[in-house]
Amino acid sequence: MSYLTEVDAKYIDERTTHTIPVIETKEINVSSSGLMTPNFSISITVSNNYTFIDLFNYVIELYPNCGDSSFYIYDKKIFISIENATHKIMDYADKNIHFIQYGIFKPKNDLTKIKNILGIHKNNLQNTINLYDTDIINLAKLGTWYGFGAGATQVPDEENNFICNLIFIRYKNLNGDDYQTFAYNRYALLKNMDANTLFLLIPHLNIKINAKEFLKTLNSILLENKSNFTIITIDDFII
């Protein structure tokens, strides 16, 4: 005969009086099709918390060339975007989900490429204040250039607002409890540098920073950077 200790009894009581949440899982078939794209068809088991970010991180591990593509959910008639990338895949699919894939031969805003959508979230840049607006300096939308898709196929770096040419500036807000982030074409931004006084004016914020220290940090980041995202916090450079 065995007897329950006081600890055993307490454990059993807690187990029987509290509901243990059940994690729902489902097998979903995921496929893509497109002209001259690395199409795929895979079957995955997902939980009810599995997002499009989780899905495409996995897809890119299997098919790295998909990173330059954008993806359109065929039956929902919606593109995967920075805004909906955190949505749960179970809200969009029962057993199957099919994407139309737009590859490198389809002109597209750089912010719609799946690798950059993932990168924006990985670097916590999804709340960048002017992310869906224009660069206040060169007046082109972020991710494109002026006349993109209808004019020149190449433009100078200071006009090209693809991710590789952008710099994300972080600055503590007035409350000091969070950061504001703005994005600029870094080549266009550096043209604002005053060569005589060596300060740089940050648009939107109307703040002057020490250009020498800023450039030193920028060069260090660009040398070490293993991704396309250039991010600088300017608090220590304010004049």
Start and end residues for every CATH 3.10.20.90 domain found in the chain: 1-122
Q: What is the CA radius of gyration of the chain?
A: 24
Distances (CA, A) of 115 to 49, 88, 99: 21, 18, 16
Domain 1-122 is in which class? alpha beta
Q: What was the pLDDT predicted at 218?
A: 95
Contact 102, 73 (CB under 8 A): no
Which pLDDT value is given to residue 226?
74
214 neighbors 222 (Cβ within 8 angstroms) = no
**177 DSSP 8-state letter:** S
| Residue 134: predicted pLDDT | 92
| Per-residue confidence in pLDDT tens, the chain, 239 aa | 444 445 445 554 555 455 555 678 899 999 999 999 999 999 999 999 999 999 999 999 999 999 999 999 999 999 999 999 999 999 999 899 999 999 998 999 999 999 999 999 999 999 999 999 999 999 999 999 988 877 778 899 999 999 999 999 999 866 666 889 999 999 999 988 877 778 999 999 899 999 999 999 999 999 987 778 999 999 999 98
At residue 198, the pLDDT reads 86
Question: How many Å apart are CA 98 and CA 156, to the nearest integer?
Answer: 37
Q: What is the pLDDT of residue 186?
A: 96
- Tokens in use for 25? 């899982």
d(CA 233, CA 212): 15
